[in-house]
Amino acid sequence: MTDLPGLAADMCLKCNICTAACPVAAVTDLFPGPKAVGPQEERFRHPRLPTADDSVAWCSGCGVCSRVCPHGVAVTEINVRAKAALAQQNGIGLRDRLISRPALLGRMGVRVAPLANAGLSNPLVRRIIEGILGVSRESPLPPFSSDTLRRRQADRIAAQPSDTVPATKLSVAYFHGCSTEYYEPRIGELAIAVLERLDCQVILPPQGCCGLPLQSNGLFDAARRYARSNIESLGPFASAGIPIVGTSTSCTLALKHEYRAILGLEGESVAGVAGATLDFFEFITLHRIAQLNRQHLRSTPLTVLYHPPCQLRGHGIGTPAMDVLRMIPDLEIVLSEAECCGIAGTYGLKREKATVAHAVGRPLFDQAHDVHPDSILSDSETCRWWIQNHTGLKSLHPLQLLAQAMNLE
């Protein structure tokens, strides 16, 4: 495992910029701030007995602290590792083990989608789930799809780059993630349609859950198994020069960054997959903007509020979705002023953290109330579900609006 976060702790100047920027520390005294539980405490942790103060459990892992640190300290990475150590010390309960496995839940849920969705939308059932498992009844649980993306697009599945049909078009390996596979296959179909319109040949490589929910809940060993499986499956595509494009910013951040910086995976294949991975709109701005310029985008007289999720900010690529959407005639885009919506993956699902998560997202909810947009856009599925749940406004992936302007939706 790389020692970068441990070494970086000694570079902390105790300036407290990270604490001032932390959205969690701003709304609760239960979390003393990323500096206190991160680089400051890291100096006192024994390498073979990685004890952690209980307050680190309130860190949402949003990544703000690492982004604002003027000295390049990997504060988020330090805290996520400390959270994992704490979880192992205290024991990881059934709830966290379940919500960490969206692929497992998805495979079960799609088989009985009508029954499962009816149950999860029932207030009494949600109260029971909250009482038994500790999953907040106020937090959104997305409905299962009755079918999966890979079943709908079976002819695109390719086990190896050599399985793809030679073409003059640019081949793209689409990493759809668990949410698109089991909950929102329409997002995947639109992504494929947009890419094909932009002269790409879209293939579905072998893939599993990115493992980020496992990592976030302290199950590092399981997360590494998922990560290694994805590296083994995606490595040949990266080696063949095929871009790996994802529509979930958390999944692509895992492939790009988390596998190495937090899970400590190393090697040529790991680096190759990281280098080949691109966010959906990052790919368009880098490789398909000329083709998009040739498209006749129809007028879309709407006002939308765009919230770049924390995971997208972690990519360090700006807001490529806004760059693309500004090309749509008559579309008014208002940028979110909130640093975080609050959900942080599975953080806001937990009964004990739901109130804090809601408080973190309050500035975004208030802005949505003031702007009253036609819809709210976000590149992250959990952000969309959380925002829609707490504002009552329709929440979309930015690509849905692009597909609409391209007459694909």
pLDDT digits (tens, 9 = 90+) for 184-196: 999 999 999 999 9
Cα angle, residue 129 at apex, residues 123 and 135 outer, rounded to 5°: 100
Check residue 40 and give its pLDDT. Answer: 85
Name the percent of the chain lying above pLDDT 90.
Answer: 85
Check residue 51 and give its pLDDT. Answer: 63
pLDDT digits (tens, 9 = 90+) for 271-294: 999 999 999 999 999 999 999 999
Amino acid identity of residue 409, one-letter, is E
Does residue 5 register a pLDDT over 50? no
Residues in contact with 177: Cβ distance below 8 Å, sequence separation at least 6, in sequence order: 209, 210, 246, 247, 248, 250, 251, 381
Does residue 43 register a pLDDT over 80? no
Residues in contact with 199: Cβ distance below 8 Å, sequence separation at least 6, in sequence order: 169, 170, 288, 291
* Tokens linked to 282: 């990052």
Check residue 9 and give its pLDDT. Answer: 75
Check residue 165 and give its pLDDT. Answer: 57
Distance CA 128, CA 112 (A): 20
Determine contact, residues 310/340, Cβ cutoff 8 Å.
yes
Cα angle, residue 329 at apex, residues 287 and 395 outer, rounded to 5°: 80
Arithmetic mean of pLDDT, 334-360 = 96
Determine contact, residues 68/31, Cβ cutoff 8 Å.
no
| CA-based nearest residue to 44, from 9, 93, 88 | 9
Does residue 387 register a pLDDT over 60? yes
Determine contact, residues 303/373, Cβ cutoff 8 Å.
yes
Arithmetic mean of pLDDT, 175-188 = 97
Confidence of residue 2 (pLDDT cuts 50, 70, 90): very low
Determine contact, residues 280/337, Cβ cutoff 8 Å.
no
* List of domains in the chain: 4-90 (1.10.1060.10), 293-405 (3.40.50)
Q: Give the phi and the psi of residue 67 in degrees, each rounded to 5.
A: -70, -35
Distance CA 272, CA 161 (A): 15
The answer to pTM > 0.85 is yes
pLDDT digits (tens, 9 = 90+) for 110-138: 999 999 999 999 999 999 999 999 999 99
Beta-sheet strands, E only, within 107-192: 170-175
Q: 10 Å Cβ neighbour count for 91?
A: 8
Determine contact, residues 105/55, Cβ cutoff 8 Å.
no
Distance CA 195, CA 390 (A): 32
Terminal CA-CA length for the chain:
45
